[in-house]
């Protein structure tokens, strides 16, 4: 039996973070580059697998490989020196915001990628705001500095002015975007010259140079960089660990993930500065210490990762104590016991059996059909962690199949997609047995129909409905709304909630104005303060 001090020591070795950004900023490429630098893969893949480069390990789903985008979050665990890294790659597209936001509940920090040419984009702004409200420390990596882009100082000003986080660069580029020579380590005062390896799939070629050597070789670029460093020093843009941990400043690094430039520096900074797991708040209002009895919560469900066995995996974040494979834990929602015989460490689509895990680790519980997103598991001391954030659906469609022989598979697939949170499944009295899919964005429908066809062998048709806003109502509200046109009340299968759906906000306000006692509440919790 490991002592509480032993558990605390193991927790201190963990770094659990998410890689987040706007689409196409390079999240999956960065995930691959970090794994390469930790020596857990031999060569870094490319998102589209061009040339001789394979695809990235985090985009394991066939649809992701075909489209070159991430449509589901992925977990990778590996060691870097004495540190255990739990890295979560997330979808960048706004249509998959729910998946990304759930991941943010399971991490202790985040790496935000900014495209050097595009700067702060809409989804980036939203994610920064969520991290700040959840007080998640953010490290910013200015990516694609090997391509033409914005001025470095202008990007720092944009970060501070638009999101209110003070940028504190730890590395600074020599050479403008597109003419990247290397970075100056501001804390060490050293210059590291960087060159892309042939093909870009291997570690970058790095060489430390003296100031005199750099000045002689890079002339005007070196002079510009040193002048910019003086300006940063004058404005007090120096790293302060307490301010970083309180999510009021963001350390900044520069590089190019696809060429593995600046990635080693980022990995070292994560190990050095990112916070280890700490006590987590519970529904009861208390904080659960990392060295107390085991507890954890499920933040993601994923089925058919292994096409041979067609199993279902619950991704659980360990919050406290030592997890041991085979231990009997209690499901907080039902009070029932749950056996953890099949526990695995996740690395993209690959996985292997593990015998133990500690706070910060992500454990895959296989064949966990009794579990759902947001469930808390514990031993000994009862605990319940806060519910996970979810978003109000804005797109609705009836789903059907013409293949009567595939009805059982169709129904099983719909239930599975609902359980994973790929879409929400609703039922409506006026539509009989037909299921209605509800989504934050239309790409969720693409994922749902693709998976029904490829994983269950069922071709489906979607009949889109003319609604774009939903609100929770009650039985009395349902009766009131029967008298109104252009509105429909549906039951959410997952929890039985009644959702009133409207074609637009104006229609909802008009009806609410006629019926002052009508209950119309926000249908979801975004998890924001």
pLDDT, one tens digit per residue, over 347-402 is 766 778 899 999 999 999 988 888 988 999 999 989 999 988 667 889 999 999 99
The closest alpha carbon to 279, from 385, 388, 372, belongs to 385
Q: How many helices and strands, by DSSP H and E, does the chain display?
A: 13, 30
For residue 133, count other CB atoms closer than 10 A to its CB: 13
Phi, psi of 131 (to 5 degrees): -60, -40
Would you list which residues are annotated within the binding site? 89-93
- Does 308 have pLDDT greater than 60? no
- Does 52 have pLDDT greater than 70? no
Residues of the chain with CATH 3.40.50.300: 19-72+93-273, 280-378
- Band (59; pLDDT cuts 50, 70, 90): very low
Local structure of 307: helix, strand or coil? coil
State the first-to-last Cα distance of the chain, in angstroms, to the nearest integer: 39
- Band (71; pLDDT cuts 50, 70, 90): very low
Q: Which fold has domain 19-72+93-273?
A: Rossmann fold (3.40.50)
pLDDT at 42: 44
- Band (95; pLDDT cuts 50, 70, 90): low
The pLDDT tens digits of the residues spanning 426-478 come to 999 989 889 999 988 888 898 899 889 988 899 999 999 999 999 999 999 99
pLDDT at 309: 53
Mean per-residue pLDDT of the chain:
87
Residues of the chain with CATH 3.30.70.3280: 395-514
Mean pLDDT of 156-172: 95
The pLDDT tens digits of the residues spanning 19-42 come to 988 878 888 888 888 888 876 644
The closest alpha carbon to 527, from 371, 386, 377, belongs to 386
- Does 61 have pLDDT greater than 50? no
pLDDT at 124: 80
CATH 3.40.1740.10 fits 395-514, yes or no: no
pLDDT at 390: 67
- Residue ranges of the alpha helices (H) in 363-432? 407-420
Would you list which residues are annotated within the binding site for GTP? 89-93
- Band (134; pLDDT cuts 50, 70, 90): confident
The pLDDT tens digits of the residues spanning 314-325 come to 999 999 999 999
Higher pLDDT, 45 or 1: 1
Cβ pair 420, 371 in contact under 8 A: no
DSSP 461-512: EEEE-S--EEEEE-HHHHHHHTTSSS-EEEEETTT--EEEEESSHHHHHHHH
Mean pLDDT of 246-250: 95
pLDDT at 94: 54
- Band (69; pLDDT cuts 50, 70, 90): very low
pLDDT at 200: 63
- Does 56 have pLDDT greater than 80? no
DSSP annotation of 424 reads E
pLDDT at 179: 96
**pTM score of the predicted model:** 0.83
Structure tokens at 270: 């994560």
Q: Label the pairing between strands 295-303 and 376-378.
A: antiparallel
DSSP 147-205: SS---HHHHHHHHHHHH-PEEEESEEEES-TTS--EEEETTTTEEEEEEPPTTS-SPPE
- Does 295 have pLDDT greater than 70? yes
- CATH architecture observed for domain 280-378: 3-Layer(aba) Sandwich (3.40)
The rounded distance, in Å, linking the Cα atoms of 134 and 132 is 5
The rounded distance, in Å, linking the Cα atoms of 415 and 448 is 11
- Does 51 have pLDDT greater than 50? no
The pLDDT tens digits of the residues spanning 201-221 come to 688 899 999 999 999 999 999
pLDDT at 525: 46
Q: What percent of the chain has pLDDT over 70?
A: 88
pLDDT at 455: 86
């Amino acid at each position: 039996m490991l002592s509480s001090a032993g558990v605390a020591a193991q927790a201190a070795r963990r770094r659990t973070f998410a890689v987040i950004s706007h689409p196409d900023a390079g999240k999956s490429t960065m995930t691959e580059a970090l794994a390469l630098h930790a020596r857990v893969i031999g060569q870094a893949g490319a998102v589209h697998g061009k040339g001789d480069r394979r695809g990235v390990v985090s985009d394991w789903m066939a649809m992701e490989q075909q489209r070159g985008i991430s449509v589901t979050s992925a977990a990778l665990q590996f060691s870097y020196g004495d540190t255990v890294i739990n890295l979560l790659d997330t979808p960048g597209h706004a249509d998959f915001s729910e998946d990304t936001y759930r991941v943010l509940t399971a991490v202790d920090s985040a790496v935000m990628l900014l495209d050097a040419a595009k700067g702060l984009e809409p989804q980036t702004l939203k994610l920064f705001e969520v991290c700040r409200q959840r007080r998640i420390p953010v490290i910013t990596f200015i990516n694609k500095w090997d391509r033409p882009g914005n001025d470095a100082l202008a990007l720092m000003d944009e970060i501070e002015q638009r999101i209110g986080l003070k940028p504190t660069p730890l590395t600074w580029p020599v050479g403008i975007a597109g003419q990247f020579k290397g970075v100056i380590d501001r804390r060490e005062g050293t210059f590291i010259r960087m060159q892309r390896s042939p093909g870009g799939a291997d570690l970058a070629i790095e060489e430390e140079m003296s100031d005199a050597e750099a000045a002689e070789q890079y002339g005007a670029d070196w002079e510009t960089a040193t002048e910019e460093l003086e300006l940063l020093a004058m404005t007090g843009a120096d790293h302060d660990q307490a301010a970083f941990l309180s999510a009021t400043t963001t350390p900044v690094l520069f590089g190019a993930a696809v060429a593995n430039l600046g990635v080693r520096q980022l990995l070292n900074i994560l190990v050095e500065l990112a916070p280890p797991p700490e006590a987590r708040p519970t529904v009861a209002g208390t904080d659960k210490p990392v060295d107390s009895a085991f507890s954890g919560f499920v933040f993601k469900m994923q089925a058919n990762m292994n096409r041979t066995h067609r199993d279902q995996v619950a991704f659980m974040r360990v919050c406290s104590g030592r997890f041991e494979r085979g231990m009997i834990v209690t499901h907080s929602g039902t009070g029932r016991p749950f056996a953890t015989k099949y526990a695995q460490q996740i690395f993209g689509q690959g996985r292997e059996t593990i015998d133990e895990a500690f706070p910060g680790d992500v454990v895959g519980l296989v064949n966990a059909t009794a579990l759902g997103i947001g469930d808390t598991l514990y031993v000994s001391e009862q605990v319940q962690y806060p519910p996970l954030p979810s978003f109000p659906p804005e797109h609705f469609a009836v789903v059907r199949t013409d293949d009567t022989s595939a009805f059982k598979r169709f129904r099983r697939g719909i239930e599975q997609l609902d359980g994973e949170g790929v879409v929400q499944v609703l039922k409506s009295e006026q539509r009989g047995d037909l299921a209605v899919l509800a989504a934050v964005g239309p790409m969720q429908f693409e994922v749902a129909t693709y998976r029904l066809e490829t994983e269950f062998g069922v071709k489906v048709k979607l009949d889109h409905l003319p609604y774009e806003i939903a609100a929770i109502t009650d039985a009395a509200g349902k009766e009131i709304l029967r008298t109104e046109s252009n509105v429909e009340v549906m039951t959410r299968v997952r929890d039985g909630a009644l959702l009133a759906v409207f074609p637009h906000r104006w229609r909802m306000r008009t009806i609410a104005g006629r019926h002052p006692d009508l209950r119309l509440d926000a249908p979801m919790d975004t998890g924001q303060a």
